[in-house]
């Protein structure tokens, strides 16, 4: 084999391997999910300690593997935080993880970043932190880092208009150049919030969305999932440890056991 042909051969086999490398979602607990594609990895809501007696925690062994940068949870590029509630976010853990893993970037609502700012050691990591400032109804924000494209929109926390002050973010993230996922935090089921952002959803098809499970339980939430957000596949999260019979009956897929995975087509 001549030298240039060898180069082309190596390059094309590399491309086919890269192409075959499907996206994958790994469940951590509650709304914690890791998404990987071609070796590019991101974490959503990975660190928290409050189950409120109903929800899954990230098992200690799994949590330790994330902290210790052990496969498959190694070489993560970015963490996304949906909102600053105790079943989604622990400020000390997030800071500790950023200190230990010095290339990881953080994207979080300004409210969550305010809490981390007061901790000792924040100065060491602050250049890798992006505070997302968004009001309800405001136009989406866009960020990008190596191999990752990020769009964010604020959708109110469930129970709206109660808890209207909580900055709940919906992140639509393109990982590794091809896999698009959407993490919705504790988004409310009322379709009117999503109509307020009517131009956001059609702009990009989502391969896999992670809505809170309650969207699968109401007509309005079902409409959001099936007709509005432009997602090909739904995996419910925030599922109580005792899986509600209504959720099983809904026909929607969901994560309930930490460690389980789904391939993203
Ligand atoms: Zn929650």
Q: How far is the CA of 128 from the centre of ligand 1 (A)?
A: 25
Separation of 149 CA from ligand 1 center, angstroms?
25
Q: Is residue 10 part of a domain?
A: no
Range of the domain at 33: 23-252
Query: Any idea which residue has 């995996």 for tokens?
Result: 235
Beta-strand (E) ranges in 72-147?
A: 76-80, 105-109, 129-132, 141-145
**CA of residue 159 to ligand 1 center, whole Å:** 11
In a domain, 172, yes or no: yes
Rounded Cα distance, 254 and 140, in Å: 27
Q: What is the 168 CA–ligand 1 centroid distance (Å)?
A: 10
Is residue 240 exposed (0-12), middle (13-18) or buried (19+ Cβ within 10 Å)?
A: middle
| Predicted pLDDT of residue 15 | 47
Q: Burial letters for 125-162: b for 16+ Cβ neighbours within 10 Å, e otherwise?
A: beebbbbbebeeeeeebebeeebbebbbbbbbbbebee
CATH number for the domain that contains residue 137: 3.60.15.10
Closest by alpha carbon to 80, among 162, 1, 153? 153
Domain count, the chain: 1
Task: Tell whether 16 is covered by a domain.
Answer: no
In a domain, 258, yes or no: no
> What is the 85 CA–ligand 1 centroid distance (Å)?
6
Report the candidate in 263, 259, 234 with the shortest Cα–Cα distance to residue 247: 234
Lookup result for tokens 């953080």: 106
CA 52 – ligand 1 centroid, Å? 9
Q: How far is the CA of 121 from the centre of ligand 1 (A)?
A: 27
Say if 170 falls within a structural domain: yes
Residue 110, in any domain of the structure:
yes
Q: How far is the CA of 20 from the centre of ligand 1 (A)?
A: 35
Tell how far the Cα of 126 is from the centroid of ligand 1, in angstroms. Answer: 26
Distance 15 CA to ligand 1 centre (A): 40
Residue 28 lies in a domain: yes
What pLDDT score was predicted for residue 261? 98
Which helix H or strand E contains 229, and what residues bound it?
none
What pLDDT is stored for residue 20 in this prediction?
47
- Non-local CB neighbours of 204 within 8 Å, separated by 6+ positions: 151, 172, 174, 180, 230
Question: pLDDT of 104-142, one tens digit each?
Answer: 999 999 999 999 999 999 999 999 999 999 999 999 999
Q: For residue 67, give Cα distances in angstroms to 83, 95, 100.
A: 21, 11, 8
Residue 7 Cα to ligand 1 midpoint, Å, equals 51
What is the Å distance from ligand 1's center to 238 Cα? 7
User: Which residue in 159, 138, 162, 142 sits closest to 151, CA to CA?
Assistant: 142
What is the model's pTM?
A: 0.92
pLDDT of residue 22: 85
Is position 235 within any domain?
A: yes
The segments of the chain whose pLDDT lies below 50 read 1, 12-20
Is 82 in contact with 182 (CB distance < 8 Å)? no
Question: Looking at residue 206, what is its pLDDT?
Answer: 98
pLDDT at 21: 73
Query: How remote is the CA of residue 3 from the centroid of ligand 1, in Å?
Result: 57
Q: How far is the CA of 71 from the centre of ligand 1 (A)?
A: 27
């Amino acid at each position: 084999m001549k030298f240039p042909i060898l180069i082309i051969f190596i390059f094309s086999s590399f491309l086919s391997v890269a192409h075959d490398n499907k996206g994958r979602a790994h469940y951590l607990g509650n709304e914690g999910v890791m998404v990987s594609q071609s070796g590019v990895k991101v974490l959503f809501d990975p660190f928290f300690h409050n189950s409120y007696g109903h929800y899954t925690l990230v098992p200690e062994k799994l949590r330790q593997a994330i902290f210790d940068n052990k496969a498959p949870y190694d070489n993560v590029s970015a963490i996304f935080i949906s909102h600053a509630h105790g079943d989604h976010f622990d400020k000390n853990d997030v800071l500790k993880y950023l200190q230990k893993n010095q290339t990881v970037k953080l994207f979080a609502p300004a409210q969550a970043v305010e809490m981390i700012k007061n901790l000792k050691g924040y100065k060491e990591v602050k250049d890798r932190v992006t505070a997302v400032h968004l009001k309800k109804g405001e136009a989406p924000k866009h960020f990008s880092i190596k191999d990752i494209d990020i769009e964010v929109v604020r959708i109110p926390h469930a129970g709206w208009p109660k808890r209207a002050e909580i900055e709940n973010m919906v992140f639509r993230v393109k990982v590794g150049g091809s896999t698009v996922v959407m993490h919705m935090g504790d988004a409310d089921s009322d379709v009117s919030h999503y109509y307020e952002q009517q131009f956001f959803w059609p702009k990009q098809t989502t391969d896999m969305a992670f809505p809170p499970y309650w969207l699968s339980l109401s007509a309005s939430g079902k409409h959001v999932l099936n007709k509005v957000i432009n997602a090909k596949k739904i995996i419910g999260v925030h599922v109580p440890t005792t899986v509600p019979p209504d959720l099983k009956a809904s026909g929607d897929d969901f994560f309930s056991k930490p460690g389980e995975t789904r391939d993203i087509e």
